[in-house]
Amino acid sequence: MRRWLPGLLLVSPSIILIAVFVYGLLGWNFKLAMTDKHDEIAEIPGDFVGLENFTSIWSDERWGLSVRHSIVFTVVFVGGALVLGWLLAFLMEKGIRAESGFRAVYLFPMAVSFIATGVVWRWLMNSATGDHAVGLNRLFHYLGVDFLQWQWFRDGDWGMAAMAIPAVWQMSGYIMALFLAGFRGVPEELREAARVDGCGEWGVYRHVVLPMLRPVTLSALIILGHISLKVFDLVVAVSGKQIITDVPATYMWTAVYDSHDPAKGATIASYIVLSVVVFVVPYLIWDARKGKRS
């Protein structure tokens, strides 16, 4: 007991809080999602209906629209942040001047909340055009490239791609820091050995550096993926609760607080949790197996 009891007492408050306020509330949410409690009357707990809510929600046109929006946002956000972060890290790794200053500038957006980012980008992505344009559309008008003016997040087809731009701006600096650490972690001896074997500079990156960045890339993919799947504050700050930019998290808010349908809101929340689990659990399994092999 002298060995394990002090450590257990030290971490027990955290264990209890996580058990109650994370896993306990997750369990309560899944339980609510399996009931027919479609109103907020406290005296009616709701009867158990199994997976009925999970299947019937797919007949809801708005739910399908929010899922499609989430997929578009995820693809643009994850892909854009990975590419831009890798490119910035590559430039830093090549030893540009004033590197520390550039690193600070690129990391500054991480200190800003998604709410503040959304408020600023709501102005930058204003959909007004011509003489009434503001933000980026106004800049395009001054430059004489009016053909670049766009409806941005109000576009019915690619509005969610525009919604991902602020998120890419905010997270690309963090991804840059991850990739830069990965670049700097590749031993110089391996690079020199590849050059001795006849590899050019691109060959060194292709056959030595990039393969060693796979764990960093996977970690960045997991981080960005789970952020995009549960995005809420950025969307609300930019466009509010508009159907044209609906994602599962905003639809969940609408279902609970506007439509007063707790069971439906819990069902949507459960799907959000499950989608994040699909991203995170395989990574945890892979990381655990990698730790055992090493």
pLDDT for residue 252: 93
Structure tokens at 174: 């963090």
Structure tokens at 89: 């890290």
pLDDT for residue 150: 87
Sign for the CA dihedral angle at 168, 169, 171, 174 comes to: positive
- CA distances to 50, 56, 251, 264 from 60, rounded to whole Å, are 18, 7, 11, 11
pLDDT for residue 42: 59
pLDDT for residue 109: 87
Q: CA geometry: angle at 109 spanning 106 and 114, to 5°?
A: 155
- 286 contact partners, CB below 8 Å, separation of at least 6: 218
Please state the separation of Cα 113 from the chain's center in Å.
Answer: 13
Residue 241 backbone dihedrals phi, psi, to 5 degrees: -100, 55
pLDDT for residue 39: 81
Structure tokens at 55: 């299947």
> Three-class SS of residue 259?
coil
State the maximum Cα–Cα separation within the chain, in Å, rounded to a whole number: 77
Question: What's the rounded Cα separation, in Å, for the pair 24 and 99?
Answer: 46
Burial class (CB in 10 A: 0-12, 13-18, 19+), 294: exposed
Question: What's the rounded Cα separation, in Å, for the pair 119 and 267?
Answer: 30
- CA distances to 29, 61, 76 from 57, rounded to whole Å, are 16, 9, 26
Could you tell me if 121 and 239 are in contact, meaning their C-beta atoms sit under 8 angstroms apart?
no
Considering only CA atoms, give the Rg of the chain. Answer: 24
Residue 220 backbone dihedrals phi, psi, to 5 degrees: -65, -40
Question: What's the rounded Cα separation, in Å, for the pair 257 and 241?
Answer: 12
In terms of Cα–Cα distance, which of 99, 74, 77 is closest to 89? 99
pLDDT for residue 155: 85
Per-residue pLDDT of the chain (294 residues; tens, 9 = 90+): 778 888 888 899 999 999 999 999 999 999 999 998 888 765 667 788 889 999 999 999 999 999 999 999 999 999 999 999 999 998 888 777 777 788 888 888 888 888 999 999 999 998 888 778 888 988 888 888 888 888 888 888 888 999 999 999 999 999 999 999 888 888 888 888 888 878 787 888 888 888 888 888 888 988 898 889 889 999 999 988 888 899 999 999 999 988 889 999 999 999 999 998 887 887 777 777 776 666
Strands, DSSP E only, in the chain? none
